[in-house]
Amino acid sequence: MEFSPEILPSISSLSPSAISFLNTTFHSKHDLNLSESTHLVTELDTHCSELTHHLSNLTRRIDAILLSYASSSHRITDAFQHIHRQLQDLKSNSTFASNSDGKMEEMAADELPALAKEVARVEMVRNYAETALKLDSLVGDIEDAVTSVMNRNLKKHSARQYSEEIHVNAINSLQLVEDVLASVTRGHPRWVRLLSAADHRVDRALAILRPQAIADHRTLLVSLGWPPSLSTLSSSNIDGRRISEVPNPLSEMNGELKHKYCESFLALCRLQELQRRRKSRQLEGYNHGTSLYQPLWGIEELMNPLSLASLHHFQKWVDKPEFIFALVYKNIRDYIDSVDELLQPLVDEAMLTGYSCREEWISAMVTSLSTYLAKEIFPAYVSRLDEETTLEARLQARTSWLHLVDLMIAFDKKIQALAAHSGILLSIEEYSLLQRISSLSVFCDRPDWLDLWAQIELDSVLERLKPEMEDERNWTTKISGAAPFSGSEDYKSPVVSSILLKNVSSVIDRCRSLPTVFLRSQFVRLVGAPIIQTFLNCLLTKCQEAEGLTALADDDAVAKVMTSVNSAQHIKSILIEWCDDIIFVEMGLEDDSELEKPFNERSFTEGDGNGVLDEEITKLEEFRKEWVDKMTNVVLRGFDAQVRDYIKNRKQWQEKIEEGWTVTKAFVVALDFLQGKTSSLEEGLNGMDFTAVWRSLANGIDRLIFNSILMSNVKFHSGGVERFVGDMDVLYGVFRSWCMRPEGFFPRVSNGLKLLKMAEKHLQEIFIQGEVWMKQNGIRHLSLAEAEKIARCRVFS
């Protein structure tokens, strides 16, 4: 018996999908192998059974929807029939009303609002029914896609292309559902039960779709050869200069594989954007400014396997953390360009606004590093500090801690430089981004570690500062050459003050790397403030020792006090200058909630008491004022002792001055003492404090001479007035080196001289006109009683 071969159909009679399937399955004649036919038939039968099952599900759902629609349609039809009957009744009532009185017209008019209300109710019921049916249909499509995904997972053989189509269709349906739900939220916020039911069904679908999409994406990454091999790395070549370039799978993939990866990444981005839209809708009306951000899922899937591959090397480098930071930086630098070029267009296509692939890549890698530091490195270093008993071992543990922090600060600076080079703008408002790309963010969740670091840092600075403060040469040597801080020469401060400022400046520079304002403020309070307080205690001790030995009567003792005052004034001025820096302005914000506002909307408190170092600045100012007053009082006491004989000689105001003299001999000694002391103070004190000293001296001498001479009922003859005027001119001359009109700083004595020099008739008018006369003659610093007392003591020949 002969069998004729079966004739195959022509290509033109085949559908495009059949032609595509044959081209995909049979690439060449060698693929036409009968041994493969059984497998192919099995796969086709399985696919057909899946489609048949899916068709059956769709048929059942269509029947249910039609049944529901028919039920709703009957209810709506009944409602319209009821309205039609009411309209007919209204028509008959209106016809009847045309032949009746006005009372029937009022009855018909009363029914119109009720009828309008009924029409609006029916319209709302219709909208509700249509929306519910639409949501039910769309959510049903999503649930069918979920069922197909679950069925595919139960079977080993399934077309990958078919799986991708399911994911795409499901995401499209999810977006349509979210559009409807957003419209309902805006237009009908009282339909809470409908929204809740739809959200519940969508959440169940997403709980299956997202993990499956991520699992498929991970499988695709493995097929791409991700993560790249790190097995060639070692401590000797971690810098990357002595090893060949590691292949970059992201740059090398092409063709169908690249297309599949991009589609998978795009699906993840669309799912994430959908999730963000849902959260935004559900949290509408609440303060959710920081709750909507999530790391980019696709970037996280790239980072996780790379971090796991790096973990093997990290475990070998616990005692060599510099290699850990070098490896992480190398991974960030090597792949940041390819991540941006390949994935950023996909993020933009998914409408995932506010995301930069460069930022997310840096953030993901640094966050992974921070997590490892918090779980493995820092606990080991803390245990070393707690367990070591010998002094040498504890010093070594502290040194290791500071070395680790130095590496973290250097790493963060390199990362910020890389971010800036990549076009990422790090403004003072981007606190969340700064925290995500800083390894020092480990201290945000562990304030006890920050306290420990601050204590170690403080001990280290004080150990360096103590021998410098004990070295007397640093107190006697003034700053020469280029001053490290502005105004050092003007303040005549010793070298030790610049040494202190260098240490405080280094502390502030280290705190700048901390990612949050609270951490910076806390670090400055824990380290910077105690350093300044320690130095202030040293200044106070030196001044008290000088005062206790000679009561500041000795020039050497006064010189020590002047040196301390100059140092305090210099440090205070530099600290005030630093407080204008934005880092201190932010730390001075009274309310931490202000930091969450945009920078141009924050309220900055002006005045005292709003800075982290205000207390130390206040203490320095109080110290300076206290010892400037003490030096002034020492000079005033000395001047009082020297001028005592001059004051006691009351007869001299009745006589002319000695021939050939322009000043009273007894007053010359006091003036010489005053000139010598003020010259010494001018030479040793800074300009600001010396100005305060000579003004205080002028005020004290003015009060002394006025009370001891002018108010002591001394009788002034014309010759005595001449003598007194000459003496005061010489006194004014002592202060003329520092001001143009020294008599202005002796207001009482100047007003007294003015009265004494007046003619008798003019002076007597004070007893008639009183205060009016005093104002007319410029006597503003004396009371009427004082002026009248001086006038009575004036004796005219």
Which pair of tokens denotes residue 590? 């009274």
The pLDDT tens digits of the residues spanning 494-518 come to 999 999 999 999 999 999 889 988 9
Share of the chain above pLDDT 70, in %: 79
Report the percent of the chain where pLDDT is more than 90: 45
pLDDT band at 93 (very low <50, low <70, confident <90, very high): low
Radius of gyration of the CA atoms of the chain, in A: 46
- Whether the per-residue pLDDT at 670 is higher than 60: the answer is yes
- The encoded tokens of residue 167 equal 């994911």
Beta bridge partners, 716, equal 794
**Which of 657, 675, 627 is closest to 727 using CA atoms?**
657
Q: What is the DSSP letter of 494?
A: B
**pLDDT tens per residue, range 745-782:** 999 999 999 999 999 999 999 999 989 999 999 999 99
What pLDDT, on the 0 to 100 scale, is given for residue 42?
Answer: 75
One-character DSSP codes across 447-491:
HHHHHHHHHHHHHHHHHHHHHHHH-THHHHPBP-SS-SSTTTTTT
Do 474 and 468 touch, CB atoms closer than 8 A? Answer: yes
pLDDT at 745: 94
CA 384/CA 281 separation, integer angstroms = 50
Which residues lie below 8 Å from residue 748, measured CB to CB, with a gap of 6+? 702, 703, 706, 710, 781, 782
What is the DSSP code string of 254-316?
Answer: -HHHHHHHHHHHHHHHHHHHHHHHHHHHHTTTS--TTTS----HHHHHHHHHHHHHHHHHHTT
Confidence of residue 32 (pLDDT cuts 50, 70, 90): low
Residue 430 has pLDDT above 70, yes or no: no
Determine the pLDDT at residue 595. 46
Q: How confident is the model at residue 551 (pLDDT cuts 50, 70, 90)?
A: confident
User: Cα 587 from chain centroid?
Assistant: 9
Q: Which residue has the higher pLDDT, 598 or 693?
A: 693
Give the residue-averaged pLDDT of 62-77: 65
Type of residue found at 535: F
Query: What pTM value is reported for the model?
Result: 0.76
SS3 794: strand
Among 7-11, 108-112, 241-245, 353-357, the least confident range: 241-245
Residue 17's pLDDT band, with cuts at 50, 70 and 90, is low
Q: Residue range 228-232: average pLDDT?
A: 71
User: Given a cut of 80, is residue 571 above it in pLDDT?
Assistant: yes
DSSP three-state, residue 716: strand
Cβ neighbours around 354 below 10 Å, total: 9
User: Beta-carbon neighbour count of residue 547 at 10 Å?
Assistant: 18
Kindly tell me if the per-residue pLDDT of 411 is higher than 50. Answer: yes
How far is the C-alpha of 790 from the C-alpha of 707, rounded, in Å? 11
CA distance 111 to 96: 15
Residues 241-277: pLDDT tens digits?
444 466 788 888 888 888 999 999 999 999 999 999 8
For residue 593, pLDDT beyond 50: no
pLDDT at residue 97, as a whole number: 46
pLDDT of residue 297: 93
| pLDDT of res. 244 | 47
Amino acid letter, 652: Q
The Cα 40–Cα 781 span in angstroms is 116
pLDDT for res 697: 96
Quickly state the pLDDT bin for 787 (edges 50, 70, 90).
very high
Q: Identify which has the larger pLDDT, 410 or 197.
A: 410
For 169, the token pair is 């269709």
Most confident of 21-30, 49-58, 159-168, 611-620: 611-620
- Tell me if residue 796 falls in helix, strand or coil: coil
> CB–CB of 495/501 below 8 Å?
no
Q: Is the pLDDT of residue 300 over 80?
A: yes
In SS3 terms, 532-580 reads as HHHHHHHHHHHHHHHHHHHCCCCHHHHHHHHHHHHHHHHHHHHHHHHCC
Residue 475 has pLDDT above 60, yes or no: yes
Residue 571, burial from CB neighbour count under 10 angstroms (0-12, 13-18, 19+):
buried
Comparing 107-121, 245-259, 584-598, the range with the smallest average pLDDT is 584-598
Confidence of residue 30 (pLDDT cuts 50, 70, 90): low
Ranges 4-13, 311-320, 607-616: which has the least confidence: 4-13
Better pLDDT: 32 or 657: 657
Output the pLDDT for position 281: 86
Mention every residue, 6+ apart, whose C-beta is less than 8 A from residue 409.
440, 510, 513
Amino acid letter at 253? M
Give residue 161's pLDDT.
52
Section 515-540 average pLDDT: 94
How far CA 375 is from CA of 371, 382, 436, 449, 514, in Å, comes to: 6, 12, 17, 13, 19
Most confident region among 188-192, 245-249, 326-330 by mean pLDDT: 326-330
Give me the sign of the Cα torsion angle 719, 723, 725, 726.
Answer: positive
Q: Which range (610-614, 683-687, 710-714) has the least confidence?
A: 610-614
> For position 552, what pLDDT does the model report?
82
* Percentages (nearest 5) of helix, strand, coil residues in the chain: 75, 0, 25
Specify whether the CB–CB gap between 16 and 128 falls below 8 A: no
250 and 339 Cβ atoms separated by less than 8 Å: yes
Structure tokens at 782: 């004396």
More confidently predicted of 235 and 644? 644
- Residue 540 is predicted with a pLDDT of 95
Of the listed ranges 133-147, 155-169, 663-677, the least confidently predicted one is: 155-169
Cβ contacts of residue 16 below 8 Å, gap of 6+? none
User: Which DSSP state fits 599?
Assistant: G
Beta bridge partners of 794: 716
Determine the pLDDT at residue 501.
Answer: 94
Q: What mean pLDDT comes out for the span 425-447?
A: 78
